[in-house]
């Protein structure tokens, strides 16, 4: 199968085109066509001579993703796309519109190996890692859609299907490609990677001193509770996760975000709020809370508005900055934790 052109770094593309006997500026033209002009295929690269376009078309696939289905939420601002891949696997990605922001939530794996009990992706199990080019292709697809409406992406969250730090190299390679100032030029601080708390990978991420934002899906402030929701906690218990989080903030001087899905009567109690505040004391962090999104494989219910308010107020009373997030796209299973391939 032809190689995915989005897998190549700029240097690798330059080297490949040079082996074809082409002048150096041709690779610059191709890179610009891919990431600035958002050319969907070789045929659209009209600045190139026809023989070169034909060779590119024969040698590469451009993303390898085929949109197979679309669901639009009744909120009028959320779209979920199912992409088929050449090996018959599939992924989902979401575009969310806000007053001043256009955010895409993209996937890093087909399925997920982490097994979080309330997450539809975890319930479907792990299929495979995505290549860097497949991660990039999701972003570019939505960027083209928005450009056609004279609009643009403002934020990227790697919070779709999969655990990004389990697929570390490909995920960060995709971020590097999207961040390239001579290409797509998407600011690193407008990209957020979300992890369930793979402590060694968090430390590695900190050591690389990237500007990409980091979020940790927490959902429990005691090991017993968190392990019942996130099996990964048995391997990386809370002491290790928070030690890695403190290492990250100390090393990078950047704030970390904790994600917390509020489940009625499970993790929305004052005791959990107090336990979280104690663990996070003195840590440069922010807590995002959101009522649980429903999935068919988990019987837990979303916290009521009153319990959400009580939990967030308890955090703030203990000095923790907290934001209550609005659920989006629930009617089409496009919300956090809802992405899964049913068939």
Task: For the chain, give the secondary structure using H, E and C.
Answer: CCEEHHHCCHHHHHHHHHHCCCCHHHHHHHHHHHHCCCCCCHHHCCCCCHHHHHHHHHHEECCCCEEEEEEECCCCCEEEEEEECCCCCEEEEEEEECCCCEEEECCCEEECCCCCCCCHHHHHCEEEECCHHHHHHHHHHHHHHHHCCCCCCCEEEECCCCCHHHHHHHHHHHHHHHHCCCCCCCCHHHEEEEECCCHHHHHHHHHCCCCCEEEEECCCCCHHHHHHHCHHHHCCCHHHHHHHHHHHHHHHCCCEEEEEEEECCCCCCHHHHHHHHHHCCCCCEEEEEEECCCCCCCCCCECCHHHHHHHHHHHHHCCCCEEECCCCCHHHCCCCCCCCCCC
Q: What is the pLDDT of residue 334?
A: 57
Q: What is the pLDDT of residue 294?
A: 81
**Can you read off the two tokens belonging to residue 13?**
């593309």
CA-to-CA separations, 90 to 65, 102, 121, 183, in angstroms, rounded? 9, 23, 12, 27
What's domain 66-332's superfamily in CATH?
Answer: Aldolase class I (3.20.20.70)
Q: What is the pLDDT of residue 332?
A: 64
Q: Which of 92, 131, 163, 259 is catalytic?
A: 92
Q: What is the pLDDT of residue 67?
A: 95
* pLDDT per 10-residue tile (average), the chain, 343 residues: 94 97 96 98 96 97 95 89 94 92 96 93 93 98 97 96 97 98 97 98 97 97 97 98 98 97 95 96 95 86 93 94 79 63 57
Q: What is the pLDDT of residue 298?
A: 87
Q: What is the pLDDT of residue 41?
A: 97
Query: Which CATH class, in words, describes the domain spanning 3-61?
Result: mainly alpha
Q: What is the pLDDT of residue 3?
A: 95
Q: Which of 112, 116, 322, 336 is catalytic?
A: 336
Q: What is the pLDDT of residue 336?
A: 73
- Record the pTM: 0.95
Report the candidate in 47, 135, 121, 169 with the shortest Cα–Cα distance to residue 298. 121
Domain ranges of the chain: 3-61, 66-332
Active site residue 336: yes
- On whether the CB atoms of residues 336 and 192 are closer than 8 A, the answer is no
């Amino acid at each position: 199968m032809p190689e995915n052109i989005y897998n190549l770094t700029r240097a690798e593309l330059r080297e490949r085109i040079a082996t074809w006997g082409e002048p150096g500026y041709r690779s610059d033209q191709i890179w610009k066509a891919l990431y600035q002009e958002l050319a969907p295929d070789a045929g659209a690269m009209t600045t190139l001579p026809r023989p070169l376009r034909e060779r590119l078309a024969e040698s590469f696939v451009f993303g390898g993703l085929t949109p197979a289905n679309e669901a639009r939420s009744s909120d009028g601002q959320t779209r979920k796309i199912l992409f088929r891949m050449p090996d018959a696997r599939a992924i989902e990605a979401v575009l969310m519109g806000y007053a001043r922001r256009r955010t895409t939530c993209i996937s890093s794996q087909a399925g997920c190996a982490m097994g979080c009990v309330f997450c539809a992706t975890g319930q479907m199990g792990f299929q495979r890692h995505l290549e860097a080019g497949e991660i990039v292709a999701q972003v570019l697809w939505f960027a083209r859609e928005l450009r056609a409406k004279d609009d643009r992406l403002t934020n990227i969250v790697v919070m779709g299907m999969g655990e990004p730090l389990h697929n570390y190299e490909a995920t960060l390679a995709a971020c590097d490609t999207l961040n390239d100032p001579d290409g797509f030029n998407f600011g690193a601080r407008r990209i957020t990677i979300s992890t369930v708390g793979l402590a060694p990978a968090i430390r590695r991420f900190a050591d690389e001193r990237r500007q990409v934002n980091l979020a940790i899906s927490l959902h429990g402030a005691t090991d017993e509770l968190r392990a019942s929701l996130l099996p990964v906690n048995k391997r990386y218990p809370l002491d290790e996760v928070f030690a890695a989080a403190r290492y990250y903030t100390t090393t990078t001087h950047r704030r970390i975000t904790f994600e917390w899905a509020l489940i009625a009567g499970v993790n929305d109690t004052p005791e959990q709020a107090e336990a979280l505040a104690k663990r996070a004391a003195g840590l440069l962090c922010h807590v995002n809370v959101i009522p649980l999104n429903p999935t068919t494989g988990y019987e837990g219910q979303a916290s009521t508005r009153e319990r959400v308010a009580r939990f967030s107020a308890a955090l703030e009373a203990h000095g923790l900055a907290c934001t209550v997030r609005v659920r989006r796209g629930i009617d089409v299973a496009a919300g956090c934790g809802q992405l899964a391939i049913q068939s």
